[in-house]
Amino acid sequence: MSSRSQILMCHPAHFDVQYVINPWMEGHVGRVRKDVALEQWDHLFSVVSQLVRVAVIEGSEDLPDMCFTANAGFILGNRFVPSTFRFYQRQPEIPLFSSWFDDAGFDVDDAMADTPFEGEGDALLQLDGNPTPVLWAGYSVRSSLESHREINQRLQIDVVSLRLVDERFYHLDTCFVPLGDGRVMYYPAAFDEMSLKQIRQRVPGDQRLEVGESDAMRFACNALLLDHTLITNHASDRLIRQLSDWGYETIVTPVDEFILAGGAVKCLCLIIDQHANPVGTGHVESPIRSTHVELHGHLLDSGLINRIFDSTNDAGGEAKVEQLTIAQRHDQPSTAQLRIIAPSADRLDMIINRLMLLGARPSDEPQDARLEPVTKDGVAPNEFYSTTIYPTEVRCEGNWIPVDRQRMDAVIVVEMGHRDQSMARCRLIRDLRIGQRIVCGVDGVRVNRPMAKLGDKEFSFMSAGVSTERRVELAVQELAWEMRRIKNRGGRIVCVAGPVVVHTGGAAYLSQIIRLGYVQALLTGNALPVHDIEYNLFGTSLGVDLRRGVGVHGGHQHHIRAINLVRGAGSIREAVEQGLITGGIMYECVRNGVDYVLAGSIRDDGPLPDTFMDLTQAQAAYAAAIEKTDMILMLASMLHAIGTGNMTPAGVRLVCVDITPSVVTKLADRGSIESTGIVTDVGLFLNLLARRLSQSDA
Ligand code: ARG
């Protein structure tokens, strides 16, 4: 046994659960059996002391968690980096531990200024198996990602950041043990995908021991490894066997009274005799990256700040507000400066991309956009920037150039010209050609998302349950007013509609609205015109007599008869002109010069000769139809409405009417604030709208 102590423990005379800072403590306040805890600790102490020299620090009366010495800080060689606890309850432990280390002859570092770091609880050193020592470090619940970069810089050591995603495994030492020979034992469900990938990249399959849920829940991974002995609160026979196959002896010593506070063996032991040789040689630079974004608008009342935090965390990063100016009045905007930190440059790009969609603006010194060439027709370079519906600019040779044909889910092609003659436009991936240059990453991309204004309605406005008839009427009244204004200024209204319009008896009203000149283009599929024409010819819609609401004998074949008639005429237009079709939606379109685009699908009967069965062509025709449109009215058509939504830039007023709230919300996910959703029966809605529009036209 070496003369220097290897482990620091703290006598648990004052151990208790007095507050709740992790899920294990919930419901356990004041429930600790002190005598049981003392007995278990004494036993652990004697087990550990038989193997190594253990130093003991006195506890303190008002610090019930101080016995969890693993959280005191991190030791490397003679250096002690004290923790910065996330929760104030444990902060006062720091001076006590620091002075103990000072007295013991360690060099005591300054604690990290304002970023949480919880010591060895979240930082486990592995000396062998890798060319250089590796520090496995946990973040997200307690320690911050930022602290990992700081540790990397201070100690010149390779830090692997692992994100913890289950609050019950809040410290890395609750779910991960570096063993000898580069092996590791861990509980996979405690980590996110990105972190599991990191583990798998660094440790080959036969060197990884994945622990099951029942072992993990009993803190099997919260184990102290001393040479080839693993000391833990619990281990199943299977786990013991697996470890013994690798040459480890397992000693089980129950400390379940401490689990009431969320800690077990490893938490109670701090390794203080830890040397990483060779430190500094082959030092790996931290992959962690950060940048700044700014926000402007109704940050608090619109919940924007929260969404920024959630989006960042979900993608494995961290956001920190560095400056916040709150408006004095509710109609004034607030502003914030945030620092965004991510485990890698790629992740940072991904996060910034998401935040830009929410309205954040990168605020660090701008750079030119990175352009990569297309090397295969119809395929974008891997890191392509994917567009949103919002007006976007890209920076080329110092100039910001606006992107043309804005739409979502496209890439940006840049054609460099002389001086500020460069051009940028959105292109679908399938339309890319070899040699074109594509914007990659998020540098040099600026998205101008209009901030939510006061009084903006939520898209799900009038969602199920709250949409009373009176409210539908009010919405229709407002809509009619807007449509009239668009019509008066010679604007463009496009209607996307599904066959339900006909089934619910709305065809006559939509026909009337078209006749009044409120629709400039109709986007639909094969079914709406089929049933509309069927109704005109036979008075049925899918065989149902709409006036009486009953099925008509033999009516099921009406729709294919309608199709056949149009096929005979050559097209819908010709069928109208030959006088075969005498009324209805399609009739009014033809008579009033309203463009229509029919996009087919696998379930189409016929199809009508006018229906595009080549969907690439159909998409292009839809896209052309919505150019320079002021308003899109989406009537009970999930497929075609969402398809249209995807190609519509921000700034176009979207009104979605559907009986199913999920269609309305799906469209809202695009984030348009110019959108209104109305959850109601579309036949009823069209009836009200036609009445309003004809009144105001009278
Ligand atoms: N109640 C303590 C806390 O939540 C338990 C600490 C356990 N320590 C550990 N290294 N996992 O901070």
Q: 121 CB less than 6 Å from ligand 1?
A: yes
Query: Measured between alpha carbons, how far is 167 from 315 in angstroms, rounded to an integer?
Result: 17
pLDDT at 457: 44
β-pair partners for 392: 447
Distance 82 CA to ligand 1 centre (A): 15
Distance 405 CA to ligand 1 centre (A): 54
309 & 220 share domain: no
Indicate which CATH number applies to the domain containing 643. Answer: 3.40.50.10690
Distance 695 CA to ligand 1 centre (A): 71
Ligand 1 atom closest to Cα of residue 261: 1
Q: 122 CB less than 6 Å from ligand 1?
A: no
Q: 263 CB less than 6 Å from ligand 1?
A: yes
SS3 568: helix
Q: Indicate which residue's Cα is closest to atom 8 of ligand 1.
A: 267
Nearest to 490, CA basis, from 676, 688, 686, 628: 628
SS3 587: helix
Residue 472 inside a domain? The answer is: yes
Distance 162 CA to ligand 1 centre (A): 18
SS3 content of the chain, % helix, strand, coil (to 5): 35, 25, 40
Q: Indicate which residue's Cα is closest to atom 9 of ligand 1.
A: 267
Q: 119 CB less than 6 Å from ligand 1?
A: no
Band (461; pLDDT cuts 50, 70, 90): very low
Ligand 1 atom closest to Cα of residue 266: 10
Band (359; pLDDT cuts 50, 70, 90): confident
Q: 262 CB less than 6 Å from ligand 1?
A: yes
What tens digit of pLDDT does each residue of 317-347 get? 999 999 999 888 877 888 999 999 999 999 9
318 & 393 share domain: no
Average pLDDT of 253-267? 97
376 & 506 share domain: no
Q: 261 CB less than 6 Å from ligand 1?
A: yes
Instruction: Say how many C-beta atoms besides its own lie within 10 A of residue 399's C-beta.
Output: 13
Q: 138 CB less than 6 Å from ligand 1?
A: no
Token representation of residue 278: 């060779």
Query: Measured between alpha carbons, how far is 211 from 112 in angstroms, rounded to an integer?
Result: 33
pLDDT at 670: 63
Q: 93 CB less than 6 Å from ligand 1?
A: no
Ligand 1 atom closest to Cα of residue 70: 10
Q: What is the percent of the chain with per-residue pLDDT over 90, rounded to a whole number?
A: 75
User: Among 9, 14, 22, which is best to mutate for testing ligand 1, by the most ligand atoms less than 8 A from CB?
Assistant: 22
Distance 15 CA to ligand 1 centre (A): 12
Please report which helix (H) or strand (E) contains residue 178, including its range: strand 176-178
Token representation of residue 219: 């803190």
Counted residue by residue, the chain has a size of 698
pLDDT at 419: 63
Residue 43 inside a domain? The answer is: yes
pLDDT at 420: 65
392 & 318 share domain: no
Q: 174 CB less than 6 Å from ligand 1?
A: yes
Q: 70 CB less than 6 Å from ligand 1?
A: yes
Band (390; pLDDT cuts 50, 70, 90): confident
* Number of structural domains the chain divides into: 4
pLDDT at 302: 76
Distance 255 CA to ligand 1 centre (A): 13
What tens digit of pLDDT does each residue of 25-41 get? 999 999 999 999 999 99
Instruction: Say how many C-beta atoms besides its own lie within 10 A of residue 544's C-beta.
Output: 19
Give start and end residues of each alpha helix (H) in 169-303. Answer: 193-202, 213-217, 237-245, 256-259
Query: Measured between alpha carbons, how far is 537 from 292 in angstroms, rounded to an integer?
Result: 64
Query: Measured between alpha carbons, how far is 546 from 508 in angstroms, rounded to an integer?
Result: 11
Token representation of residue 230: 């693993």
Q: 129 CB less than 6 Å from ligand 1?
A: no
Distance 5 CA to ligand 1 centre (A): 22
Band (454; pLDDT cuts 50, 70, 90): very low
pLDDT at 300: 78
175 & 320 share domain: no
557 & 691 share domain: yes
> Is 244 a residue whose pLDDT tops 60?
yes
Distance 74 CA to ligand 1 centre (A): 15
520 & 668 share domain: yes
Ligand 1 atom closest to Cα of residue 71: 10
360 & 473 share domain: no
Residue 175 inside a domain? The answer is: yes
Ligand 1 atom closest to Cα of residue 21: 4
Q: 68 CB less than 6 Å from ligand 1?
A: yes
Structural domain for 390, as ranges: 365-455
Using alpha carbons, list the distances in angstroms from residue 374 to 175, 367, 393, 440. Answer: 44, 22, 20, 11
What tens digit of pLDDT does each residue of 113-138 get? 889 999 999 999 998 766 678 999 99
User: Among 41, 65, 94, 187, which is best to mutate for testing ligand 1, by the most ligand atoms less than 8 A from CB?
Assistant: 65
Q: 173 CB less than 6 Å from ligand 1?
A: yes
DSSP structure class, residue 164: B
pLDDT at 282: 55
Query: Measured between alpha carbons, how far is 521 from 257 in angstroms, rounded to an integer?
Result: 72
User: Among 267, 270, 271, which is best to mutate for testing ligand 1, by the most ligand atoms less than 8 A from CB?
Assistant: 267
pLDDT at 673: 53
Token representation of residue 600: 């087919």
Residue 431 inside a domain? The answer is: yes
Distance 176 CA to ligand 1 centre (A): 15
The residues carrying an active-site annotation are: 171, 267
Residue 2 inside a domain? The answer is: no
SS3 46: helix
Q: Please provide the average confidence, as pLDDT, over all residues in the chain.
A: 91
Amino acid, res. 400: W
Q: 12 CB less than 6 Å from ligand 1?
A: no
Residue 280 inside a domain? The answer is: no
Q: Encode 359-386 in three state secondary structure.
A: CCEECCCCCCCEEEECCECCECCCCECC
pLDDT at 672: 53
Q: 65 CB less than 6 Å from ligand 1?
A: yes
What tens digit of pLDDT does each residue of 539-595 get? 888 888 887 778 888 778 889 999 999 999 999 999 999 999 999 999 999 999 999
- Among 394-403, 414-423, 496-505, 640-649, the least confident range: 414-423
Amino acid, res. 472: V
pLDDT at 464: 36
Q: 21 CB less than 6 Å from ligand 1?
A: yes
What tens digit of pLDDT does each residue of 63-109 get? 999 999 999 999 999 999 999 999 999 999 999 999 999 999 999 99
Please report which helix (H) or strand (E) contains residue 160, including its range: strand 158-163
Indicate which CATH number applies to the domain containing 322. Answer: 3.30.70.2690
> Is 459 a residue whose pLDDT tops 50?
no
63 & 185 share domain: yes
Q: Indicate which residue's Cα is closest to atom 1 of ligand 1.
A: 261
Indicate which CATH number applies to the domain containing 381. Answer: 2.40.420.10
Q: 267 CB less than 6 Å from ligand 1?
A: yes
For the chain, what is the largest distance between any 2 Cα atoms, rounded to a whole number of angstroms? 106
* Residue where one domain finishes, among candidates 224, 245, 271: 271
Indicate which CATH number applies to the domain containing 166. Answer: 3.75.10.10
Ligand 1 atom closest to Cα of residue 90: 12
Distance 68 CA to ligand 1 centre (A): 6
Residue 281 inside a domain? The answer is: no
* Residue where one domain finishes, among candidates 337, 364, 391: 364
Band (470; pLDDT cuts 50, 70, 90): confident
35 & 166 share domain: yes
Distance 267 CA to ligand 1 centre (A): 6
Query: Measured between alpha carbons, how far is 656 from 545 in angstroms, rounded to an integer?
Result: 27
Q: 69 CB less than 6 Å from ligand 1?
A: no
Residue 276 inside a domain? The answer is: no
Token representation of residue 132: 């250089």
What tens digit of pLDDT does each residue of 410-430 get? 999 999 876 667 899 999 999
pLDDT at 283: 65
Query: Measured between alpha carbons, how far is 314 from 625 in angstroms, rounded to an integer?
Result: 37
Q: Encode 399-420 in three state secondary structure.
A: EEEEEECCCCCCEEEEECCCHH
What tens digit of pLDDT does each residue of 601-615 get? 999 999 999 999 999
pTM of the predicted model, to two decimals?
Answer: 0.74
Distance 200 CA to ligand 1 centre (A): 27
247 & 323 share domain: no
SS3 576: helix
User: Among 15, 67, 68, which is best to mutate for testing ligand 1, by the most ligand atoms less than 8 A from CB?
Assistant: 68
Using alpha carbons, list the distances in angstroms from residue 315 to 345, 500, 532. Answer: 13, 40, 48
- Among 43-47, 368-372, 537-541, the least confident range: 537-541
Task: Assess contact for 73 and 97: CB atoms under 8 A.
Answer: yes
Q: Indicate which residue's Cα is closest to atom 6 of ligand 1.
A: 263
234 & 213 share domain: yes
* Residue where one domain finishes, among candidates 434, 455, 476: 455
